[in-house]
Every structure is written in C-alpha cells, then in structure tokens.
Amino acid sequence: MQSEEFERYFAGAELTTNWTSRNYRIWAELLAGRRHEPLRLLEIGSWEGRSALFFLNYLPQATIICIDTFAGSIEHRAWPLRQRWRQLRPIEKRFDRNLARFGSRVHKIKAESVAALGELGLAGRRFDFVYIDGSHLAIDVYRDAVLSWPMVDIGGFVVFDDYQRKQGPEKDLPSVGIDAFLSAVKGKYEEIFRGHQIAIRKSP
C-alpha cells in the first residue's frame, strides 16, 4: 500500500501532531498476514488516537484497548503550568471524537498503565498485538513490557516505540528499559524489526 492510501484513514480526524506516519509501513508489513483476523490489540499511550486510527482501519476485524492518562508524560511536566494546561486539556476530547465511529471496537482506559495492566492481567485478558508508546522513561517502558508480556499469545507481536530516542539522561532512555526487558525474555521471542522501533514476535 502507498502512504497516500494510509493517509485516507485520518480524513476528518482532529489531529495536531504526527509522530507516527513513518511507522505505517512497518506496521502494515508486520500485520499483513493477519489483516483480516479478529485481532485483539493493546495500546499503551494513545494521545489523540492517530496510531489507533491506523490499526482499526488497517485491521477491519480488530478491537483495541487504549490506555492513557491523557495528562501527558514527563516531558510535558517541564512546560510552564499554563502551557501544559492549554495543550493537554483537549487531548482526551480529540481522542474520543476521532475514535467515536469505531464504537465497541475501541475500549478506552483512562489510568496509569501500571494499574490498567494489572487489572487486565487479573481479568485474564489476552492480546495478539501490544504497542508500547507511553512513558519514555526506561523504568516505565520496562514495567509496561513486563506487565504486558504474560498477556501476549504465542505468535503475538510487541512493538516498542522510541528505541533510538536520545533526549534525557542516558540511564532513563527508553532503549535502556527495552534492552533490559529483551534480555529478561531472551529465547522467548523472535526479533522482526530494529530501528527507531523494535518489533518482536512471541515464540513457543
């Protein structure tokens, strides 16, 4: 598919940022073989819903759970209070409007990921695809991966964003958390892609 076709997925959406368009081809290639299956998706970090819009359009039978506080992350806390309030206040409303047409295919959980993932795990939820793009702190990325991993079915995918991000102290970079997690589950996954994102498939 051409990038112009992907852009049609966002017609009429209220989107003020675009951090994801370079990922569309990666995601499409990763999921092409399962495109028409009723996949169960989990997204940690949704913002205005751009990535969720892609997944729901590209995977017409899929459902998705989106976890976000809609209060920004650590980089937003460095903004002046007035700027932070003005920028973040409309985010959740835009997400709701952008995803409204998908009805029951979308389930929004407004919470910290540690609480939401704990509840999903206790409920015995299972997923075919997990997208980790919430907090950019190493410890949070590691935690989100550890809590998500038991819920991923064999053959399911986990995609990490911001692997090559270099903002902030080195010990806090997302790559530190991602590498620590991959080391912990060594031998239990197949690496599919490595670049600005990392995609893995859970092995038997």
Q: Would you give the DSSP letter of residue 163? A: T
Quick: pLDDT tens for 132-190: 999 989 999 999 999 999 999 999 999 999 999 998 899 999 999 999 999 999 999 99
Above pLDDT 90, what percent of the chain? 83
Rounded to an integer, the average pLDDT of 119-128 is 98
Q: Write down the pTM of the prediction.
A: 0.92
DSSP code of residue 187: T
Give the mean pLDDT of the chain. 92
The predicted pLDDT at position 85 comes to: 47
Contact 93, 69 (CB under 8 A): no
Angle at 115 (CA atoms; ends 77, 61), nearest 5 degrees: 100
Residue 59 per-residue DSSP state: S
CB 188 within 8 A of CB 156: no
13-27, 41-55, 110-124: range with lowest mean pLDDT: 13-27
Higher pLDDT, 78 or 133: 133
- What confidence category does residue 89 fall into, taking pLDDT thresholds of 50, 70 and 90? confident
Please state the φ and ψ torsions of residue 63, each to the nearest 5 degrees.
-120, 155
DSSP helix, strand, coil percent of the chain (3-state; round to 5): 45, 20, 30
Of 31-45, 52-66, 82-96, 149-163, give the lowest mean pLDDT range.
82-96
> In the CATH hierarchy, which fold is given to the domain comprising 3-7+24-202?
Rossmann fold (3.40.50)
The strands making up 63-68's β-sheet, listed across from edge to edge, are 106-110, 63-68, 40-44, 127-132, 152-160, 198-202, 189-194
Contact 199, 30 (CB under 8 A): yes
Please report, for residues 25, 27, 52, 59, the alpha-carbon distance to residue 32 in angstroms, rounded to integers and kept in the order given.
Answer: 10, 8, 16, 9
Nearest-angstrom CA–CA distance, 80 and 65: 31
User: What does the domain layout of the chain look like in residue ranges?
Assistant: 3-7+24-202
Structure tokens at 163: 């692997």
In terms of Cβ atoms closer than 10 Å to its own Cβ (0-12, 13-18, 19+), residue 201 is middle
Most confident of 68-72, 81-85, 88-92, 162-166: 162-166
